[in-house]
């Protein structure tokens, strides 16, 4: 179980790195993906369920990480927010995602891209 959790966290780190690169190189594609949140039941509940996999990985692997408390806090936060989203209508989820992605100018995605990449590197380093 620990080995699987370790690889889930590593893959989560790689995911962050890829997203960071896409935020810098394909900002409009990232915006379109975010705007799809809550558009259909399948997208809505798949997204929420899939988020819980790295959350569980963070929690399970936390005692083996150099940043045990941070892994636990992040994992439980992701689980809690996922559970809340399960009970929010997909329409509200969609409206929320579109409202906030609309407030963020594309240039801010480029500015945040290196931070996203560093977060991914942190996850990989921390295991």
Could you tell me the maximum CA-CA distance found in the chain, to the nearest angstrom?
A: 41
**What pLDDT, on a 0 to 100 scale, did the predictor assign at position 51?**
92
21/80 Cα distance (integer angstroms): 28
Residue-wise pLDDT for 30-85, tens only, equals: 888 888 777 888 888 888 899 999 999 999 999 999 899 999 999 999 999 999 98
43/17 Cα distance (integer angstroms): 22
Q: Which residue range is the domain that position 89 belongs to?
A: 2-126
Domain total of the chain: 1
């Amino acid at each position: 179980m620990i080995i699987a959790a370790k690889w889930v966290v590593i893959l989560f780190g790689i995911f962050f790195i890829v997203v960071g690169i896409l935020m810098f190189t394909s900002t409009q594609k990232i915006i379109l993906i975010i705007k799809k949140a809550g558009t259909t039941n399948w997208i809505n509940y798949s997204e929420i369920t899939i988020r819980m996999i790295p959350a569980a990985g963070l929690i399970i692997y936390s005692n083996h990480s150099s940043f045990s408390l941070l892994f636990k806090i992040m994992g439980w936060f992701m689980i809690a927010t996922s559970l809340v989203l399960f009970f929010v209508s997909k329409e509200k989820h969609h409206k929320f995602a579109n409202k906030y992605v609309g407030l963020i100018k594309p240039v801010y995605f480029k500015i945040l891209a290196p931070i996203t990449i560093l977060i991914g590197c942190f996850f990989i380093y921390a295991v």
